[in-house]
Amino acid sequence: MRARSFCRIVGAWGLGLAALAASAQGRPPTTEQLGKDPGALRQEAERQRADRQLLRYREAIVPQTSAAVDAARASYLAGRGDFSTVIEDFELWLAARAEVARREADRFEIWAQLEALVAPAPATEGESE
C-alpha cells in the first residue's frame, strides 16, 4: 500500500518542475563546443535529463516523503497510527535519499564523459601554450 503512495508522489511531479531545471547547477557546454559530434550531443541530452531528474527528486520527491514520515510519526505519537506505517514511510524516505545519491553520481559521470568529449586536447611537452 505504501509503495503505491510513493508511485503516486513520483508520478504527480512528472513535468511540473521543468521551469526549475534551468537553474540546475553546472554550466552547460556551448553549441560551439558540442559542434556536430553525435556523441557530444547525446551526452548533453543525457546530462540535461539527469539534471531534470535530480531536481525532481530534490525539490519534490524527498520533501514529500519527508512530510509523509513526519505525518506518520505525529499520528503514531498521538495514538492514531501504527508504528509499521512510520517504518514504511521512513523506508520510502531512505529510498528517495539513496536515489538522489545515485542520480547525483550518474550526473557527475555523464558530466565527466561530456567534458572529455568537448575539452581541448592537453598540450604535449614540445608544444607551446
Share of the chain above pLDDT 90, in %: 37
**51 burial type by CB count under 10 A (0-12 exposed, 13-18 middle, 19+ buried):** buried
- Give pLDDT, residue 49: 86
Cell of 51: 539534471
What's the pTM value of the predicted model, to 2 decimals?
A: 0.59
- Give pLDDT, residue 128: 55
- Which DSSP category does 17 fall into? T
Report yes or no: 81 and 75 within 8 Å, Cβ to Cβ.
yes
Instruction: Please determine, for residue 129, whether its predicted confidence score (pLDDT) is greater than 60.
Output: no
**CA 128, CA 31: separation in Å to the nearest integer?**
27
Domain boundaries, the chain: 37-117
* pLDDT confidence tier of residue 100, bands split at 50, 70 and 90: very high
pLDDT in tens, 35-72: 556 677 777 788 888 888 889 999 999 999 999 999 99
Report yes or no: 54 and 100 within 8 Å, Cβ to Cβ.
yes
